Every structure is written in structure tokens, then in C-alpha cells.
Amino acid sequence: MKAPESSSTPKVLCPRGQHLSRCVQVVDLGSHPFKPGDQASRKIYLGFETSVLNHVFKPENGPEPFMLQSEFAFFMGNASKKTKLRLFLEGWFGRAFPDDKSAAEFDFSKLLGKAAVLTIAHKPKLDGSMKAVIADIFLPEKGTPIPPTINPTVCYEIAHGENAEFRKLPSFLQKKILESEELSRPANHGGTAGTAGTTTPDPSDDMPGCPADDVTGTIEDEARPF
């Protein structure tokens, strides 16, 4: 008797190395405990698509970009004790925030469409399979042509509940958001989080700083957001 072969198709990983990319997802995941019993803390998810490197994942879809992501505690810390999120942003744009106030008030929607060079490494997961991770990030050299984004850009804030931006997100992100401390209570589904029994306008229609999906140009056009 032999063990049955796995019916799942191995995931195609983004190759190791440096890849020109754009940020296409800025997602407030809400509050989650690091492990059961821990106090919940806010999380943010930054999703990137490769701008030049493509792969045919499904023949019917043709070439598509790879998607990479990083998830952080949604806190910026201070100059003497910077969080991983703050260090990630400062490494990306090659400069430090001028002060703690500017870091605390930073508008994350400004990251949408911004170009980056991602250094991708492969690391083992707990089940023994491998995953592609962002090991480093920095700005492309001046003059680098930046292709337009392929995937729609999404800027989502947990306070907006299950709005139009929420519905643009892949199912695994929707699931995680609905498991958040803010939205896991039935009264908080639908409109603005924490507001039961009321109807509010969809705030995604006029979210500041969300660029069009066909952002293109060169790195000279990529103004640093801080």
C-alpha cells in the first residue's frame, strides 16, 4: 500500500533576487492577537505586484504579476524605538521621518502606486514548504521606467466595514478582516465599524491619496511621501 499523492498543485514562488514592483494594497487588518490569549493589536498589510516579472499561473489568464506582501503591527513607535513598520518605510524611501509627529500622522494611502525594488528571499514555513518573503526594499534608480499597475489598487481602513474597497480584496484578506476584534461582532458588519443599525455613505469613493489604477511614469515622478 502506498500513500496517495497530493492533489494540490505546488505554489509557484516569486524567484529570489531583486524585482521592480509597485504597492497595490494598503490594508488595515484590524486588531488580532499574536497568539490565543494575547492582547489584540492592530495590523497592517502592504501588498506589492511585480512590475516586469510575470508568470502564467493559469493558461486562461495569460501572464500575471507575482504578488508579494508584508504584514506589520500598525504602530510607528518613536525615534528612539522605531517599529518594524517605520523602519520598513524609511528603508523603502531612503530617509527617516523628520520627527515622531510626522510619523504618527503619516497617511498610508500615499503608498498606493509607489514604486519599489523588492529583494525576495525564500524561507521555510512550519509545514516544511517554502514561501517568498520581502527581505529588503528600496527605491529604484532615477530614470527607471515604471510600468502601469495590473491589479486594482486598494486602500482599506477597518473603520469602513464591508465597503466597496473591502469587496475588492482577495477572499483570504476579507476572511482575516472579518476575524478582527473590530468586525468579529455581528453588530459591526456592513457599514461603519462600531455603528449598528445606521446607513453611512461609502467612504472609499473619496478616500484621499488613492491614485488611479493605471499609474505609470519614471522614478522621477515618484515623489517621496515624507
> Among candidates 207, 46, 38, 36, which has minimal Cα distance to 116?
46
- Check whether 222 has a pLDDT greater than 50: yes
> Among candidates 63, 47, 173, which has minimal Cα distance to 116?
47
Look at residue 5 and tell me if it is in a domain. Answer: no
Look at residue 4 and tell me if it is in a domain. Answer: no
Look at residue 124 and tell me if it is in a domain. Answer: yes
Look at residue 99 and tell me if it is in a domain. Answer: yes
Instruction: Judge residue 1's burial from the number of C-beta atoms within 10 Å of its C-beta, 0-12 exposed, 13-18 middle, 19 or more buried.
Output: exposed
pLDDT, residue 50, reads 98
Number of domains in the chain: 1
Look at residue 9 and tell me if it is in a domain. Answer: no
Which domain range does residue 139 map to? 17-194+202-221
Look at residue 144 and tell me if it is in a domain. Answer: yes
What is the pTM assigned to this prediction? 0.81
pLDDT digit string (tens) for 115-147? 999 999 999 999 889 999 999 999 999 999 989
